[in-house]
Structure 1
Amino acid sequence: MTDTLTARALAFRQLHADPGCFVIPNPWDAGSARLLARMGFKALASTGAGHAFSCGLTDGAVGREGMMAHLGEMPAATYLPLSADLENGFGAAPETVANTLRLAATTGIVGGSIEDSSGDRAEPLYPLALATERIRAAVEAARDLPFPFTLTARAENYFIGQPDLADTIRRLQAYQEAGADVLFAPGLRTREDIAAVVSSVDRPVNVLMGMEGVTLTVADLEALGVKRISVGGSFARAAYGAFLRAAKEVQEKGSFGYADEAISGRDITRLLRKPPG
């Protein structure tokens, strides 16, 4: 098991060292992970939001125990390196964040992200000093693992509706100094903001796409110096959007035209059976 983890972990690290950028899509269950792997992507990252939706819950409502069970199912579905959405570490204390990372590392993942959102509406972001200490604790836990775990630190300013570029950069720089391997500010929407973040740090930067109204392409983001592109829960939302449109058609029109756009059972079976690589 350790040899397999090490091989996946080193392959994941190499993707961040290679020239250009890569897309790391976000499956929400074992089936979507296997399909994405068969399509030729080089790495995958879980989505906390997408998984929560699949459980009939809202984003953030799964809890640590449920998330660990979910992560335990994912690596077996694919040969690809898998990074995990570890949300805010499931607790404010640095020790809790470190323990969450240690638990997650036993599931077969080779990377993970920790965000600085607190879940407190009155103070939605952890104070910078605490947020930085949380990342430092995660880094120390990651370095004690028997394989090279890739830790991503997230600054959530834009995602929580507080688009403060200066504070976002200040936070990412602090997380870089704390030892994070990859930096991520989900919610950046413009070339200017993305370029400012990329030019302000010297670690690989992940950018979230799949947001309504944002038309930047992989080529655009690569030109801006972005290393990694994720899609968060947007693939899951796209799937559920098609599902709900189909259900609405049946309910309101009594017709079944949605089947014309659905993938056939034969095609999805062929894709699932496709040899990896």
Structure 2
Amino acid sequence: MIDALLLMLSSPLMQRGLMVAVLVGISAPVMGTYLVQRRLALLGDGIGHVALTGVAMGWLAGSAAGLTPHDLLAIPGAVVAAVIGAVLIEIVREKGRTSGDLALALLFYGGIAGGVLLIGMAGGTAANLTGYLFGSISTVTTLDVWLTAGLALVILGIGLGLRPALFALCHDEDFARSTGLPTRTLNIMVAVLAALTVSVSMRVVGVLLVSALMIVPVAIAQLSARSFRATMTTAMGIGAAVCVTGLSITYFQELSPGATIVVLAIGLYAAVAILRPLLHRPAHAKDPHLDAEDDVQVSART
């Protein structure tokens, strides 16, 4: 067993995959914690479908430029499309012209349709999108590792550095506005961070499962954590653990990495939910973040 693990760790493919898995596992739940607090758990799905159109745009641009392979610009294209889509849905939500669920539905259908049409224009087929739909850690390149690291640092830097202000916004937007916080700017920032998180996670679990990696570790953490800060920290650890474990399993068994990681996370949630009452922990209220006053420290100047 030890020899098999050493062989796995000596593989350049697995080294790149494990680095990306750790980065994604840590950064995705950070954004997911804010989305859960705002009751926007499905936002990642909508943005993910738009990112698929961005992947096809990058493929089309790479094909037109004669790049080999054609998908060298897929991730940058996904980032651009996801950010634009996230900002648009935030504007629609703010203006109140379309309900949130309808706006998400438009992203779902338009993203998939746009991706399939554009990939066809690039000379590819819908099968070329499979790796992005369900994750394809085996195709991760050194460039992907660097891109993932850069995006993860942005997510962690802003998500952790601005945690008090972002928590105030997600917990009670009216309160945040009354304290003088720039709520519109922060709302756009949350949308952009969600888009970056989707782009980062796409290689590991795919756009169809990306929301699960953002949300399920947070749901597990909420079963035991007593504060927003503890929820986020615990979720980051859980995210990294299930990503690394799931990827390691697929090294020994021919399974889909993305599906394996998500099933592990959901299985862990079920196990914790069953065992929690047996540990005689006090039940939490609907809002699990009981120390909001400790988490939100908005100065008088803001």
When normalised by structure 2's length, the TM-score is: 0.25
Q: Which has the higher contact order (CA 8 A, sep 6+)?
A: 2
Indicate the structure with greater strand content: 1
When normalised by structure 1's length, the TM-score is: 0.26
Indicate the structure with greater helix content: 2
